[in-house]
Amino acid sequence: GTAEQPPQPLVEVEAADEVTPRPAACAAVVVVGTSTPPVAEVAAPPIACLKVPAPVPAPRETVAVCGALQDFCAEEVVTGLGITLHNLFSVSPATGGMMTIFHSIRAPRIGIRDYLARLRTYFHCSLECYVLALVYIDRLIQRHPKIVVSPLTSHRLLVCSLTLAAKFQDDVFYNNSYYAKVGGLHTLELNKLETKMLDYLDFRLLVDPQEFQLYHGMLRQAASGARPQPSVAAVAAPPRPPPPP
């Protein structure tokens, strides 16, 4: 097939230098400094002597259905993330909150759902990254209430959190000059956003399975329209005690 064309930068942003994917760490494992004496190497028997039953290939229909279901679940999560971020606009202050590093001077011309679709096309990150991105954004606004999700902040919060998620979760990822080009930012600007978000999160990027399932379910519910989601933080945070009589 033909090679995939690199993403075109957004109109209002200067293009960054072309980059290539950076592979994961070297696959070879070297043990250094062990005190255990070496064990004599034993030749492995030939493959023909191993009586291992040949794997039975799955029917084509099963493979096709599983692949289609996986694609559907992935798009459902991405759609739910776009809907959730858009719904958060309704609970943010009209002025967009106090000015922070995540604020744009003016609202980008591209909507948040179209912007997310662009990231989905060119980030090539795993499905889990979109769930982690929502977790990071929610942690951020809970720890720092002055930061709100609004038309002025949502794009930068999204590209920054998704960049962190891809680097933390995936074995193969790109560098910041590539992510900045996809997101319509200068590399230096994305570097500053990433550093500030890590600082605000206290470098807490690990998400336990229970928390992951909670946010994953929230995104699927948002995509299916099962119930409105006025605020991610309000849903994820523990209930407040009732006021005293």
pLDDT tens digits along 8-40: 656 443 333 333 344 333 333 333 333 333 333
Tens-place pLDDT, residues 66-86: 333 344 466 889 999 999 998
pLDDT reported for residue 95: 54
**Helix, coil or strand: residue 56:** coil
Is residue 51 within 8 Å of residue 115, measured between CB atoms? no
Which neighbouring-strand residues pair with 22? 173
pLDDT reported for residue 9: 54
pLDDT reported for residue 107: 87
Listed as ranges, residues in the chain with pLDDT below 70 are 1-74, 90-97, 226-245
pLDDT reported for residue 196: 96
Measured in residues, the chain has a length of 245
Is residue 217 within 8 Å of residue 135, measured between CB atoms? no
Name the H helices within the chain: 60-88, 112-123, 127-143, 154-169, 176-183, 187-200, 209-224, 232-236
pLDDT reported for residue 97: 63
**Helix, coil or strand: residue 89:** helix
pLDDT reported for residue 96: 54
